[in-house]
Amino acid sequence: MSTAVLPPQTEVTRSPLRTEFKALTKLAVPIAIAQGGQALMGLVDTLVMGHAGTSALASAGLGNGLFFAVSSFGMGLMMGLDPLLSQAIGARNESRARALLWQGGWLALVSGVVLWMLLLLTPAVLPMAGVVEPELTQTRDYLIWRAPCLPLMLAFMTVRTYLTSTANIRPLIVATLAANVVNLLADLLLVFGGAGLPEWTGPLRLVPALGVVGAAVDSVLCTALQLGIVLWAVKRLPAPETKPTRRPVWADLAQAAKIGTPAGLHIAAEIGVFALAGVLAAGLGPASMGAHQIAISFSSLTFTVAVGIGNAGSVRVGWAVGGRDSAQARLSGFMAFASGAGFMALGALVFALFPTALAKLGGAPADVLPLAVPLLMVSAVFQVFDGVQGVGAGVLRGAGDTRFTFVANMVGHYAIGLPLTLLLGFKLGMGVLGIWWGLCAGLIFVALALLWRFHRVSSGTLRPIEA
């Protein structure tokens, strides 16, 4: 694996546009590959479950949506470490960064176990949303077996943030590639069983067909594999001059929680509204839920690349803030905005030109295809705005500003998007298509609000959080 790489001193000083674009791309492409690889595993799960039937596809899709709705707060909470780590590296303080890594591990363990318990309670509310058998039972089974993934996933996020802040991206790509290979093979084996395998596979032929439970178990195995790879990579890095304590430091945990809590609420608000849309779609029937799951899988694939660009922007903004160069921080942020919007525009073009082909690739059964195609067209409309708001959350986080992102998401998704979702989807009878147009409206508002906020914040002097 690679050795520790601190950002060169020239990268936290003012640079022209071309130099900044190259520096951002060098960091963003590997991060985007890693982020896209995570979404690709979800897409593979959707493809496999699509071949298992409409009911299995709907159940796994609903369970996956609920899993991320519950885990989203923990994901955002861990992001409280992002600006602390990148600004520490920007200030050339590797010992402080390593100390924050240990504190992130404790934060991941505690929050992961708490959210694990909470996740097991979510199936109780599904009947109130109109979810009936057999989807209810299959979704409950999926969540029970997927829940152990929570502390592992949050720990992986912590180590990933540390490696990203120190520009050690290669282990993330290795972990992503390995997990994707295992995910595909294990998904097929655990969902459909090994009875049809050739004799030379031996004991694998005895593996029973587990259906949606198999998909959940596969997710836990892949997350554990990724965590193991990145931990091994950190262990191989040179130790800092000052050995950090491995015990909880309450001041550090409180500071990370103070920054991460608004980010957690923001992620929970964003993922929560999409999970709620999934529950509403499930209430319209398995076909609507299946169409929603296929469209959300493809949209998530492009969005994670935009988030990867946002994460790279967060690191570069954090480096500049740690190096006390506000002008460079502003340049890095707006370059990330432009790059994210440009990539998502390409995604929008693909969605608009090939919606039917994509829906079929997503394994849409005959009754799902007519519903999935219009949803992909709606996704084409909001792609650029989705990318801008994904990048905006990252660059603002690099500057240490997480509260405004939460407020913008609450207003955009719940004061604007959700009422329109209910109006269009149910009052006006547009069904799942109306649900998605409501989501589109919320995303547009959030994107414009975050772009305005970064312009305002970066116009002044940006100071490190731990100054």
Domain boundaries, the chain: 14-457
User: pLDDT tens digits, residue range 55-99?
Assistant: 777 778 788 878 877 888 888 888 888 888 888 888 788 888 888
Return the DSSP state at 415.
I
How many Å apart are CA 173 and CA 171, to the nearest integer?
5
| CA 142 to centroid of chain Cα atoms | 20
Q: Which of 16-25, 126-135, 181-190, 225-234 has the highest mean pLDDT?
A: 225-234
Q: What is the pLDDT of residue 362?
A: 77
Contact status, residue 399 vs residue 333, Cβ threshold 8 Å = yes
Return the DSSP state at 428.
S
pLDDT band at 288 (very low <50, low <70, confident <90, very high): confident
Mean pLDDT of 254-262: 86
On the question of pLDDT at 346 being above 80, the answer is yes
Q: What is the pLDDT of residue 445?
A: 96
DSSP letters for 344-364: HHHHHHHHHH-HHHHHHHTT-
pLDDT band at 132 (very low <50, low <70, confident <90, very high): low
User: pLDDT tens digits, residue range 390-412?
Assistant: 999 999 998 888 899 999 999 99
Mean pLDDT of 21-29: 84
Q: What is the pLDDT of residue 129?
A: 64
Rounded to 10°, the helix 81-90/149-165 angle is 20
| CA 385 to centroid of chain Cα atoms | 17
Q: Is this structure's pTM higher than 0.85?
A: no
Q: Which is it for the CA torsion 108, 111, 114, 118, positive or negative? A: negative
Q: What is the pLDDT of residue 91?
A: 79
On the question of pLDDT at 225 being above 90, the answer is yes
Residue 25: Cβ within 10 Å count:
15
On the question of pLDDT at 136 being above 90, the answer is no
- pLDDT: which is higher, 396 or 16: 396
Amino acid at 81: L
Share of the chain above pLDDT 70, in %: 95
Q: What is the pLDDT of residue 138?
A: 82
Mean pLDDT of 420-442: 90
On the question of pLDDT at 6 being above 70, the answer is no
Q: Which is it for the CA torsion 375, 377, 380, 381, positive or negative? A: negative
How many Å apart are CA 384 and CA 305, to the nearest integer?
12
Poorest-pLDDT segment among 12-21, 268-277, 372-381, 431-440: 12-21
Q: What is the pLDDT of residue 338?
A: 93
Q: What is the pLDDT of residue 277?
A: 85
pLDDT band at 7 (very low <50, low <70, confident <90, very high): low
Q: What is the pLDDT of residue 324?
A: 85
How many Cα neighbours within 13 Å face the side chain of 9? 1
- pLDDT: which is higher, 17 or 455: 455
Contact status, residue 123 vs residue 144, Cβ threshold 8 Å = no
pLDDT band at 10 (very low <50, low <70, confident <90, very high): very low
CA 302 to each of CA 95, 291, 298: distance values in angstroms, whole numbers, following the listed order: 36, 17, 7
Mean pLDDT of 258-287: 83
What value does the mean pLDDT of the chain take?
85
Q: What is the pLDDT of residue 467?
A: 60
Count of residues in the chain: 467
Q: Which residues contact 121 (CB under 8 A, 6 or more apart)?
A: none
How many Å apart are CA 418 and CA 435, to the nearest integer?
8
Share of the chain above pLDDT 90, in %: 31
How many Å apart are CA 420 and CA 437, to the nearest integer?
8
Poorest-pLDDT segment among 14-28, 137-151, 326-340, 444-458: 14-28
Poorest-pLDDT segment among 19-28, 202-211, 377-386: 202-211
Structure tokens belonging to residue 221: 């195995």
Amino acid at 11: E
Burial label, 366 (beta-carbon count in 10 A; 0-12, 13-18, 19+): exposed
Q: What is the pLDDT of residue 181?
A: 92
How many Å apart are CA 154 and CA 66, to the nearest integer?
16
Q: What is the pLDDT of residue 4?
A: 43
Return the DSSP state at 159.
H
